Structure 1
Amino acid sequence: MKSALPRWVDFALIPLLNLALAFFVAGLVVLVIGENPIEAMRLLLVGSLGSSYGIGYTLYYATTFVFTGLSVAIAYHAGLFNIGAEGQAQLGGLGVALVCLALPWPAWWLALPVAILGAGLFGAAWAAIPAYLQAKRGSHVVITTIMFNFIASALIVYLLVNVLKVPGSMAPETAGFPPGTFLPTMQEMLGRVGVSVSKTPLNLSGILALVAAFLTWVLIWRTRLGYEIRAFGHSEPAAVYAGISPVKITMVAMLLSGAMAGMMGLNVVMGFQHRLVLDYVAGAGFVGIAVSLMGRSHPVGVVLAAILFGMLYQGGAELAFDMPSISRDMIVVIQALVILFTGALENLVRLPVQRLFLRRRAA
């Protein structure tokens, strides 16, 4: 019945109504704990968009969510639900770290192409095993990918504690990267053209995320492979009848999905931390699922949803500071409500809107 709705309703109006409903319920929760929900919303918006400092952090978080959201979206178009972006991103960060530590790189623009290759290959390799089990053995990709998140976490702990840790150090992290691998920050890039902004972790990866979104759009909607991926995702029997190989599409879609999740390491590991630390992903792989759902698995929607969740992360931190009764956990509640209303309870809004449009057409 989705086809009964205009595209602008399906891709814009319904997500906005779901979002408004989520914030309305969140406002009721804020009211119950004794705070003014309107003031809380003002603080959240000011904290995330009210200064170059807030915007920088918002876009830094959004960059991470664009990569993980695109990862989930690519697999979704093939009818696959990749829950493993968290583990694939951890392995992608490992690939970035190994590249940056391999040589005394003289300049970031020399290290970056190799780091992109390392992030993509390690993320894709971690997605390849669940993809093979799904394609050849029938093991459900949801189960295998979520199990591989825990395996990835244990593997990174082992490597940082026993293999990659600096001798004599107690911190479970790699050595710092050579300065030649540091990606330029947005403050540095804008400063060269005379624009002054606050220093934030926002770096060149923000532009790379937009490029990745554009290339994803080209792949899914402008190439033969993308057509095969979408055809397979809509109807596997019809795709097989048309000569499309299920094994090929499953493997290719999951490899691309894992590679995109691995690209997250460029933003955090290479662009900000300049070393690999424990749990650098910090749940961003799971946030990518919500970003993809809210963005309808379209690159433009993913970018917009990523910015929204970036605002929640940055504005939520400022809100928790200015309103002590609203803890950081309250921001998690708001995120959960957004996920709930844009995912599980989507029909709560979709069905009434659909009936309204059907009545108008009948009239």
Structure 2
Amino acid sequence: MRITLVTDAWTPQVNGVVRTWTTIKAMMEAEGHIITVIAPDRFRTFPCPGYPEIPLSYHPLHKVPAMIRDSRPDAIHIATEGPIGLAARIYCGRKGLPFTTSYHTKFPEYLRARLPVPLAWSYAGMRWFHNGGQGMLVATETLRRDLAERGFRPVRRWTRGVDTTLFRPRPHEEQAEAMRDLPRPIAVCVGRAAVEKNIGAFLDLDLPGSKVVVGDGPQLAELKRRYPGVVFVGAKHGEELARHYAAADVFVFPSLTDTFGLVMLEALASGLPVAAFPVTGPLDVLAPGIGVMDDDLRAAVLAALDIPRAACRAHALENGWDACARQLIDSLVRLS
């Protein structure tokens, strides 16, 4: 099948959306599918206000239609609601081309965290974007129910996976050197240092041992000033990221707005129990015996420390990428 993927999130950006799509693209191409990606690397861009590491495309509507036609797609999937995704949504709507979408980010909540924009307004725009297609894919059942109640249709489940070969428990000598000699227990948080990730809720906790934050972002300098006792190691990727997971004792996921939280699966695959708030994402990813959810995040962290690492690893082994790729293929709608 010839599949055109339209996304505003692509390499060299580092986030769960990009990791999901680059992994799925490689898997589908290995099975013989032809994937054309229409992403920011094909346009002139400017830095997103407040997120300079995220490039936004100039006037993509002038180029996207020709790019879609030239790709000769059997199916079109629009992965994001940014400028490129919007251009594809407008073009497909004008031409009556069927397409599917995916919902990766709670943009209405992200926007409200920065500007006094009512959620009802933002969700109205999101409904227009997604309901014009033949199906919207979401990562969890909790999110599917929430969006269905908000008038999105049709909403379908699309699971996520984790590379259990890369992310695995490791002996001391294979763990991140910067963490080996820190006081135990080590609580780690992996994510973008930005307001929507709620990292401050983790850093404010009175915990024994050490706290480590892995990731860059617009709040990083501020967080370093406010929390001098925390170890900030910056963004890590691939093998280096896996070594940082393996060196910790518990993974803390303080986000209240993530739609899934791929980092939780990576932590579990590394043998780390997870502590989180009982919200969308953790409610679907975690289960008793591998993580603890509590409105009292400190209590969740302390309780999670008692969870056997082997149980976390065993759960992650049941969540490979194969099922994720199959679900996507089955959900696509052919143009003819």
What TM-score do you get using the length of structure 2 for normalisation? 0.25
- TM-score normalised per structure 1: 0.24
Computing the radius of gyration from Cα coordinates, the structure with the larger value is 1
Q: Answer 1 or 2: higher relative contact order, Cα 8 Å, separation at least 6.
A: 1
Higher strand proportion: 2
More helix by share: 1
